[in-house]
């Protein structure tokens, strides 16, 4: 049986894949087959940099585990595809979209490929896997609060994994992202948990079948949120660990179906057991694991129990009941991350640590050695023994012996044992070596704290637990333990018992030191210093007298060792009998009512809370108003007093029925609270921003300066720039203070000073004239985007630093612009009439983003700048054409011409979209096609132009509205490259004609200095050609030659430069005809025709030799033996006919017909015979006797005709013969070509009278015929 341990971890320990209530268990047979735990030395694997999380999963579906590594500093997600033997392929790196901190792996969209969700604190990137270790581009989801951890699980029961994040923001939240079934997360919500979130784990904590959340925080609080099965969560519990938990895991550790909690604070791993209430109450177990900041759960030793692996190189093996064996070092380098999985395909869990210490970047893999049962050898249990007596708090040695079932020492035992002493102490691990020989004495192995008999427990995986006892004595005395009375009455003696103990509370005899007493009760009567005697045996009883009511303590301290001390738990001291009264309150503002509280007290000043009686209040001020006598309740009574005289006054409270019980109080009567204000006058003329002061005095309702007034005085003004300010009066001001007042807005203003809390107590001054300050800046309405040449107004206002118009400004302003063509105003000096405001005219010309500056003309200081003023071109006024150098160009040279559409100011019309055409005076020029400007042209386009004709030329551009011309382009001849030949295209045999030969460049321009020798040839072998001829430069490259062609037909003449035979020319297509022009006959095309069908007849005029006379221009007419024929009208041949013309003829009468062409003037006729066949059938004709006898058969003849009366001999249709005689019946017949369009029927009519015979084509309803017959009796 083969296990895939990756699947076990995925389904049992990975929250996103946990099935609630399900746990995989293993058979005993398989447990015996596995011998796990010891890890081999770690092997480094090169991977990414600064790994923040590692996962082991099968990313390419080959059944072999791979490693996913999230690299923070490199911002990559690296997949190392496993080879199945513990080695890996080179990493496949995918950009993680930023410095990801945590990730979760699952198949979000159920396509069979693993996907990865990466947390980036402010966003989540979801990468959908392609099944080969690579991923699609991520889907990005922004989180509502800064997230620190991410997990996946099905929280709404739809079968698809959702996402949760733990928020690190203040007032932490858990954010939930719901899967839409396609691996997308369009909706999410959050659940507030209060503490900030560091990590989140998933498990069914309360056993209701729904996934719950357990989230740790930076404050040490772990929160439990109960899942509701619909994607929502309710806060259920907070567990305060006191210190921040670096990591948490949730798993059922004791197989009771409830999720337990494992956490680490970086040094101690704590176990909290789950319960039916779904809350974590108290820590069940703790294990020392220094440096453990990351945890991973899994069955490392394959015993069916969950174990704990840490990133500190420690594994803590589970016992299956929620407790664990002592932590064991497994040899891997410590790192920031830890995960478990089968790396090398041996079906056991290996450990992978990221960023191992001292190894730089990458991973360290510790392979499971698979040999722990072998290390135990035959051992079945352990024997524990101790030596001597242990001292409380002092570690002692423990001897552990490995024994087999028979009690023999197993000398080759190499297992790891855990040794535990007193409850609550962390077990000590010890790994046996062969040198131990099965017996090891472990120094400092255990510690006991309680004197008496202690028990030492030794455990080891796969072995029975063992224990042994040891006698424990107290340690050296180090503190006092004091037992005192729980209650006493003030002033009465009480006993305390002082015992000398060690640091753990064990009684220690033999102490002879001196003890000194102190108390939290400053009035207490305490024992004198006492020196313990040997006979005290460390215990002595003392008397104390506590006098101050409340919980009081007594402390004993050794006079020579101040750290040797002890304190009572506390004695509750009750007050004694009342003997006096005390007063509090009553002083304060004159004329105000104040409460005086009278308290009964015992002789030690304690409030006598059980006392009652009537009290009377009097004052040394006869004007003071006091309330009536009142009854004390629980030793306290309240009266009111209204003092009316300033200064110190004495109040006296007296018990009415026992004047000996009384008390006094001196109160201070102060002026009352502020009721009215006064202020010294402010100047009535001030410059904006100038600070003035006024002395403000506050009086109470009795006219006394309110020296007790404290609080804010509100200074409000009509100045909108300083409407309200506050000045604080402190007790030191004694009701008088100098207050600053600053006004900023020009005009007439007023100031009011009042109590902020009592606006009715106020004083005001109006009519303060505020004038503006010096100009500090200027304002103007900005220029707007405009068309070039548009004049705009700029109204420039000078202002002081507070925004007031500086009416006194007399400076000079200068307006400038980066538009060199702009029309700007001259420098201007402000006058008194301007009162700080002047309007300028500005006209911007250049189409661009323009800047306008306004500066002080004297100092040059820039006072205002407006940028990005968009000036667009004005209306188009024409084209501007610019070209490369166009003088003395050679024919055939190409030059460029740039055409710009411009306005009147020379701005390019960038939005011009017109269609332009370029033409030239050079008829040979290669000119661009008609062109429509596009947006890319931005109003300017460059064209290529090639001129070819020698001379001075121009180019014109136009679009139908605007025209522009480029002139003065001088073209010179190019190099000699060919001849041009001019001669008649028609020649008469034997007749001489001129041949003009011109030497030219490639474009037909004459080579005027040509002096070459030419040679002639012809396709007419009988031609008479010129001899070789050498041109004279005087001929300017042109010469006229005489040639005679003799052979009829199309001929050619060629000329070739003798020295440059590649340069030649040919005059081809010269038609040589006979000289004679008398026509002898006509040739007429004929043959056969279908009646009524137009056919083309070619008529050619020929001489007596039968040659076509191409120059024939006679007139011919047509005649025919077919009287129905459609013949052409008379026709006069033209030169274009070249003796031949095609005519249209329609013959209609079937049979052999003649067609005659006649030239009357020449007296020539020619005849052509044409065989005409009938056309298609168009009608039927029936022939029958006019009278027939009833009942006797007779002949009926059907003849089929075409449209021209010809019998349609080619008719092959099927016909049907019927009649109007109901007794006549019908008969049908299919014609064949043998019928030649005629068929005779035999038919019988029976009904007397006139009857009609009908015939029709069964396929052509329009082809019919009929005739009538008179039927007479037999």
Q: What's the pLDDT tens digit per position in 1240-1261?
A: 999 999 999 999 999 999 999 9
Q: Of 240-254, 567-581, 763-777, which gets the smallest average pLDDT? A: 240-254
pLDDT surpassing 90 at residue 714: yes
User: How many Cα atoms occupy the beta-carbon half-sphere of 980 within 13 Å?
Assistant: 12
Placement of tokens 């103990």 in the chain: 501
pLDDT grade for 322, boundaries at 50, 70 and 90? confident
Average pLDDT, stretch 1135-1142? 90
pLDDT surpassing 90 at residue 1195: yes
Q: Of 318-322, 486-490, 1262-1266, which gets the smallest average pLDDT? A: 318-322
- Smallest CA-to-CA distance from 829 within 849, 804, 810 is with 810
Q: Of 58-62, 524-528, 907-911, which gets the smallest average pLDDT? A: 58-62
Distance set, CA 205 to CA 151, 189, 236, 279, 981 (Å): 16, 22, 10, 7, 109
pLDDT digits (tens, 9 = 90+) for 164-191: 887 755 455 677 788 888 888 877 776 6
At 113 the pLDDT is: 92
pLDDT surpassing 90 at residue 563: yes
Beta strands 963-972 and 889-890: pairing type? parallel
At 657 the pLDDT is: 92
At 310 the pLDDT is: 86
At 27 the pLDDT is: 29
pLDDT grade for 359, boundaries at 50, 70 and 90? very low
pLDDT grade for 695, boundaries at 50, 70 and 90? very high
Average pLDDT, stretch 540-564? 94
User: How many Cα atoms occupy the beta-carbon half-sphere of 1237 within 13 Å?
Assistant: 20
At 236 the pLDDT is: 64
Q: Of 310-319, 524-533, 900-909, 1131-1140, which gets the smallest average pLDDT? A: 310-319
Give the count of beta carbons closer than 10 Å to the beta carbon of residue 913. Answer: 12
pTM of the predicted structure, to 2 decimals = 0.43
C-alpha span between 152 and 124 (Å, rounded): 12
C-alpha span between 797 and 654 (Å, rounded): 81
| Neighbouring residues of 811: CB distance < 8 A, sequence distance ≥ 6 | 775, 798, 829, 830, 856, 857, 858
| Neighbouring residues of 1164: CB distance < 8 A, sequence distance ≥ 6 | 1079, 1080, 1081, 1082, 1158
- Smallest CA-to-CA distance from 1175 within 1124, 1219, 1137 is with 1124
**Three-state DSSP state, 780:** strand
pLDDT digits (tens, 9 = 90+) for 1082-1130: 778 878 899 889 899 889 988 766 778 888 888 999 888 889 989 999 9
Q: Of 338-342, 981-985, 1206-1210, which gets the smallest average pLDDT? A: 338-342
pLDDT grade for 1014, boundaries at 50, 70 and 90? very high
Q: Say which residue, 331 or 1176, is predicted with more confidence.
A: 1176
At 340 the pLDDT is: 85
At 273 the pLDDT is: 86
Q: Which helix (H) or strand (E) holds 372?
A: helix 372-376
Distance set, CA 626 to CA 276, 402, 721 (Å): 66, 92, 52
Beta strands 786-787 and 862-872: pairing type? parallel
Distance set, CA 1225 to CA 677, 1153, 1222, 1244 (Å): 141, 44, 7, 9
- Smallest CA-to-CA distance from 768 within 734, 722, 830, 832 is with 722
C-alpha span between 214 and 224 (Å, rounded): 5
pLDDT surpassing 50 at residue 376: yes
At 1080 the pLDDT is: 67
| Neighbouring residues of 1091: CB distance < 8 A, sequence distance ≥ 6 | 1147, 1148, 1149, 1150, 1172, 1173, 1174, 1175, 1202, 1203, 1204, 1206
C-alpha span between 896 and 1023 (Å, rounded): 50
Q: Of 105-114, 299-308, 497-506, 1145-1154, which gets the smallest average pLDDT? A: 299-308
Contact 357, 364 (CB under 8 A): no
Average pLDDT, stretch 785-795? 95
Q: Say which residue, 69 or 786, is predicted with more confidence.
A: 786
pLDDT surpassing 60 at residue 596: yes
C-alpha span between 981 and 1052 (Å, rounded): 11
At 358 the pLDDT is: 46
- Smallest CA-to-CA distance from 753 within 738, 767, 770 is with 738
At 30 the pLDDT is: 29
Q: How does the average pLDDT of the chain come out, rounded?
A: 86
Backbone φ and ψ of 33, nearest 5°: -75, -20
pLDDT digits (tens, 9 = 90+) for 209-266: 888 878 777 666 777 877 888 888 777 666 676 677 788 888 888 888 888 889 888 8
**Three-state DSSP state, 217:** coil
Average pLDDT, stretch 807-824? 95
In the chain, the largest separation of any two C-alpha atoms, in whole Å, equals 184
Placement of tokens 């004239």 in the chain: 769
Which class for 1030: exposed (0-12), middle (13-18), buried (19 or more C-beta within 10 A)?
exposed
Distance set, CA 1201 to CA 56, 712, 740, 1176, 1211 (Å): 99, 130, 132, 8, 9
Q: Of 171-180, 410-419, 521-530, which gets the smallest average pLDDT? A: 171-180
Placement of tokens 């999410």 in the chain: 188
pLDDT grade for 74, boundaries at 50, 70 and 90? low
pLDDT digits (tens, 9 = 90+) for 678-689: 999 999 999 998
C-alpha span between 598 and 641 (Å, rounded): 12
Q: Say which residue, 68 or 1218, is predicted with more confidence.
A: 1218
pLDDT grade for 1078, boundaries at 50, 70 and 90? low
Average pLDDT, stretch 524-540? 93
Average pLDDT, stretch 820-830? 95
pLDDT grade for 614, boundaries at 50, 70 and 90? very high
Q: Of 160-164, 961-965, 1211-1215, which gets the smallest average pLDDT? A: 160-164
pLDDT grade for 5, boundaries at 50, 70 and 90? very low
Q: Please say whether the structural domain 1081-1173 has been given the CATH code 2.60.40.10.
A: yes
- Smallest CA-to-CA distance from 183 within 145, 138, 227 is with 138
CATH number of 676-771: 2.60.40.1930
C-alpha span between 1253 and 482 (Å, rounded): 153
- Residue 31 DSSP class: H
- Smallest CA-to-CA distance from 1196 within 1237, 1238, 1241 is with 1241
The CATH class that applies to domain 876-972 reads: mainly beta
At 9 the pLDDT is: 33
- Smallest CA-to-CA distance from 804 within 828, 836, 832, 848 is with 836
H, E, C per residue of 1094-1123: EEEEEEEEECCCCCECCCCCCEEEEEECCC
Q: Say which residue, 371 or 582, is predicted with more confidence.
A: 582
Strand partners, 221: 240
CATH tag for 978-1061 (out of 1.20.1260.10, 2.60.40.10, 1.10.10.10, 2.60.34.10): 2.60.40.10
Average pLDDT, stretch 104-127? 87
At 317 the pLDDT is: 85
Instruction: Could you please state the CATH topology (level 3) that the domain comprising 374-473 is classified under.
Output: Immunoglobulin-like (2.60.40)
- Smallest CA-to-CA distance from 315 within 461, 423, 514 is with 461
Instruction: Could you please state the CATH topology (level 3) that the domain comprising 479-574 is classified under.
Output: Immunoglobulin-like (2.60.40)
Give the count of beta carbons closer than 10 Å to the beta carbon of residue 625. Answer: 13
pLDDT grade for 18, boundaries at 50, 70 and 90? very low
- Smallest CA-to-CA distance from 48 within 393, 415, 469, 337 is with 337
Instruction: Could you please state the CATH topology (level 3) that the domain comprising 580-669 is classified under.
Output: Immunoglobulin-like (2.60.40)
Give the Cα-Cα-Cα angle 615, 616, 621 (nearest 5 degrees): 150
- Smallest CA-to-CA distance from 1246 within 1267, 1219, 1227, 1216 is with 1219
Q: What are the residue ranges spanned by the domains of the chain?
A: 1-50+283-370, 374-473, 479-574, 580-669, 676-771, 777-845, 876-972, 978-1061, 1081-1173, 1177-1272
Backbone φ and ψ of 688, nearest 5°: -50, 130
Residue 213 tokens, joined: 């959340």
Task: Tell me how far the alpha carbon of residue 793 is from its chain's centroid.
Answer: 47
Average pLDDT, stretch 359-383? 72
- Residue 1182 DSSP class: E
Q: Of 134-143, 184-193, 599-608, 1265-1274, which gets the smallest average pLDDT? A: 184-193
Q: Say which residue, 1255 or 1162, is predicted with more confidence.
A: 1255
- CA quadruple 352, 355, 359, 362: dihedral positive or negative? positive
At 1000 the pLDDT is: 94
CATH tag for 1177-1272 (out of 3.20.20.70, 3.30.70.1450, 3.40.47.10, 2.60.40.1930): 2.60.40.1930
Q: Do domains 479-574 and 676-771 have the same CATH topology?
A: yes
Average pLDDT, stretch 429-451? 90
C-alpha span between 442 and 462 (Å, rounded): 21
């Amino acid at each position: 049986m083969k296990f895939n341990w990756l699947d076990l971890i995925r389904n049992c320990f990975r929250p996103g894949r946990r099935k609630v209530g399900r746990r995989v268990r293993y058979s005993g047979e398989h447990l015996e087959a596995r011998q796990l735990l010891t890890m081999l030395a770690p092997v480094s694997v090169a991977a990414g940099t600064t790994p923040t999380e590692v996962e082991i999963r099968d990313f390419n579906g080959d059944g072999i585990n791979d490693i996913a590594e999230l690299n923070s500093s490199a911002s990559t997600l690296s997949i190392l595809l496993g080879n199945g033997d513990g080695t890996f392929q080179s990493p496949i790196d995918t950009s993680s979209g930023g410095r990801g901190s945590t990730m979760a792996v699952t198949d979000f969209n159920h396509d069979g490929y693993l996907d990865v969700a990466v947390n980036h604190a402010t966003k989540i990137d979801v990468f959908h896997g392609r099944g080969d270790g690579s991923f699609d581009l991520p889907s990005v989801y922004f989180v509502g609060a800064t997230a620190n951890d991410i997990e996946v699980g099905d929280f709404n029961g739809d079968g698809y994994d959702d996402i949760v994040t733990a928020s690190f923001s203040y007032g932490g939240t858990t954010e939930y992202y719901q899967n839409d079934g396609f691996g997308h997360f369009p909706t999410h919500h959050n659940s507030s948990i209060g503490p900030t979130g560091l990590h989140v784990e998933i498990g069914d904590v309360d056993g209701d079948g729904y996934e719950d959340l357990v989230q740790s925080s930076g404050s040490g609080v772990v929160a439990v949120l109960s899942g509701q099965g619909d994607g929502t969560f309710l806060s259920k519990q907070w567990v305060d660990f006191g210190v921040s938990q670096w990591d948490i895991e949730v798993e059922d550790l004791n197989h009771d179906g409830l999720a337990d909690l494992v956490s680490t604070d970086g040094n101690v791993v704590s176990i909290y057991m789950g319960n039916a209430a779904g809350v974590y109450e108290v820590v069940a177990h703790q294990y020392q694991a220094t440096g453990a900041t990351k945890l991973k759960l899994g069955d490392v030793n394959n015993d069916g129990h969950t174990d704990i692996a840490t990133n500190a190189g420690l594994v803590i093996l589970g016992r299956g009941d929620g407790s664990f064996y002592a932590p064991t070092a497994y040899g891997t380098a410590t790192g920031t991350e830890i995960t478990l999985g089968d790396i090398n395909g041996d079906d056991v869990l290996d450990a992978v640590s990221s960023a191992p210490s001292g190894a730089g970047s990458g991973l360290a893999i510790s392979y499971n050695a698979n040999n722990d049962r072998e290390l135990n050898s035959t051992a079945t249990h352990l024997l524990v023994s101790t030596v001597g007596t242990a001292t409380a708090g002092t570690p002692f040695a423990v001897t552990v012996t490995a024994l087999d079932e028979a009690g023999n020492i197993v000398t080759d035992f190499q297992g790891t044992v855990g040794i535990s002493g007193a409850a609550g102490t962390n077990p000590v691990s010890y790994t046996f070596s062969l040198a131990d020989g099965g017996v090891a004495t472990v120094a400092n192995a255990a510690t006991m704290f309680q004197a008496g008999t202690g028990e030492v427990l030794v455990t080891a995986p796969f072995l029975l637990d063992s224990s042994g006892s040891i006698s424990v004595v107290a340690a050296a005395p180090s503190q006092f333990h004091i037992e005192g009375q729980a209650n006493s009455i003030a002033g009465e003696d009480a006993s305390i018992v002082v015992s000398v103990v060690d640091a753990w509370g064990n009684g220690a005899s033999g102490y002879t030191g001196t003890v000194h007493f102190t108390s939290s009760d400053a009035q207490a009567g305490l024992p004198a210093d006492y020196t313990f005697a040997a006979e005290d045996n460390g215990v002595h009883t003392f008397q104390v007298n506590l006098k101050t009511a409340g919980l009081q303590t007594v402390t004993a301290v050794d006079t020579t060792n101040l750290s040797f001390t002890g304190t009572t738990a506390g004695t509750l001291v009750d007050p004694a009998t009342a003997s006096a009264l005390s007063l509090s309150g009553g002083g304060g503002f004159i004329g105000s009512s104040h409460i005086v509280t009278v308290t009964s007290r015992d002789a030690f000043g304690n409030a006598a809370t059980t006392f009652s009686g009537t009290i009377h209040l009097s004052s040394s001020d006869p004007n003071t108003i006091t309330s009536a006598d009142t009854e004390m309740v629980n030793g306290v009574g309240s009266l009111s007093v209204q003092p009316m005289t300033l200064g110190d006054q004495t109040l006296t409270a007296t018990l009415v029925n026992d004047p000996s019980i009384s008390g006094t109080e001196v109160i201070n009567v102060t002026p009352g609270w502020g009721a009215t204000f006064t202020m010294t006058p402010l100047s009535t003329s001030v410059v904006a921003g100038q600070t003035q002061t006024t002395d403000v005095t506050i009086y109470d309702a009795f006219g006394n300066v309110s020296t007790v007034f404290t609080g804010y005085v509100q200074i409000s003004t009509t100045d909108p720039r300083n409407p309200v300010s506050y000045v604080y009066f402190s007790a030191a001001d004694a009701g008088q203070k100098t207050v600053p007042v600053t006004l900023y807005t020009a005009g007439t203003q007023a100031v009011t000073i009042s109590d902020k809390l009592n606006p009715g107590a106020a004083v005001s001054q109006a009519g303060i004239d505020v004038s503006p300050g010096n100009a500090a800046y200027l304002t103007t309405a900005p220029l707007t985007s405009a068309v070039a040449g548009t004049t705009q107004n700029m109204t420039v206002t000078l202002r002081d630093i507070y925004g007031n118009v500086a009416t006194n400004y007399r400076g000079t302003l200068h307006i400038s612009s980066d538009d060199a063509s702009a029309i700007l105003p001259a420098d201007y000096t402000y006058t008194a009439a301007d009162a700080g405001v002047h309007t300028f005219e500005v006209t911007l010309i250049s189409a661009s983003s323009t800047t306008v500056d306004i500066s002080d003309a004297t100092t040059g200081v820039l006072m205002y700048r407006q940028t990005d003023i968009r000036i667009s071109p004005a209306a188009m006024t024409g084209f501007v054409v610019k070209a490369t150098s166009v003088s003395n160009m050679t024919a055939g040279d190409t030059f460029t011409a740039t055409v710009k559409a411009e306005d009147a100011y020379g701005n390019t019309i960038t939005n011009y979209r017109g269609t332009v055409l370029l033409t030239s005076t050079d008829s040979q020029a290669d000119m661009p096609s008609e062109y429509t400007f596009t947006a890319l042209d931005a109003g300017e386009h460059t064209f290529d132009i090639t001129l070819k004709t020698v001379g001075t030329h121009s180019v014109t551009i136009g679009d139908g509205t605007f025209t522009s011309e480029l002139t003065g382009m001088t073209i010179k001849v190019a190099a000699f490259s060919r001849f041009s030949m001019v001669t008649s295209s028609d020649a008469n045999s034997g007749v001489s004609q001129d041949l003009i030969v011109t030497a030219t460049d490639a474009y037909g321009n004459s080579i005027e200095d040509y002096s070459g020798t030419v040679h002639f040839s012809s396709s007419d072998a009988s031609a008479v050609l010129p001899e070789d001829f050498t041109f004279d430069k005087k001929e300017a490259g042109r010469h006229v030659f005489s040639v005679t062609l003799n052979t009829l037909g199309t001929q050619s003449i060629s000329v070739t430069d003798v020295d440059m035979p590649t340069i030649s020319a040919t005059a081809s297509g010269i038609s040589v005809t006979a000289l004679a022009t008398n026509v002898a006959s006509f040739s007429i095309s004929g043959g056969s025709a279908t009646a009524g069908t137009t056919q083309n007849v070619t008529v050619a005029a020929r001489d007596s030799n039968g040659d076509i006379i191409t120059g024939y221009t006679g007139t011919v007419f047509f005649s025919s033996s077919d009287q129905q024929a459609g013949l052409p009208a008379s026709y006069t041949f033209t030169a274009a006919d070249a003796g031949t013309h095609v005519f249209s003829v329609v013959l209609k009468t079937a049979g052999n017909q003649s067609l005659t062409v006649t030239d009357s003037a020449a007296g020539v006729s020619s005849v052509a015979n044409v065989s005409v066949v009938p056309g298609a059938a168009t009608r039927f004709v029936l022939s029958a006797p006019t009278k027939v006898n009833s009942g006797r058969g007779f002949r009926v003849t059907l003849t089929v005709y075409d449209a021209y009366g010809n019998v349609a001999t080619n008719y092959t249709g099927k016909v049907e013969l019927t009649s109007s005689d109901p007794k006549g019946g019908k008969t049908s017949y299919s014609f064949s070509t043998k019928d030649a369009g005629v068929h005779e029927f035999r038919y019988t009519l029976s009904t007397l009278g006139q009857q009609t015979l009908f015939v029709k084509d069964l396929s052509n309803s329009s082809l019919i015929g009929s005739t009538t017959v008179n039927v007479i009796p037999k």
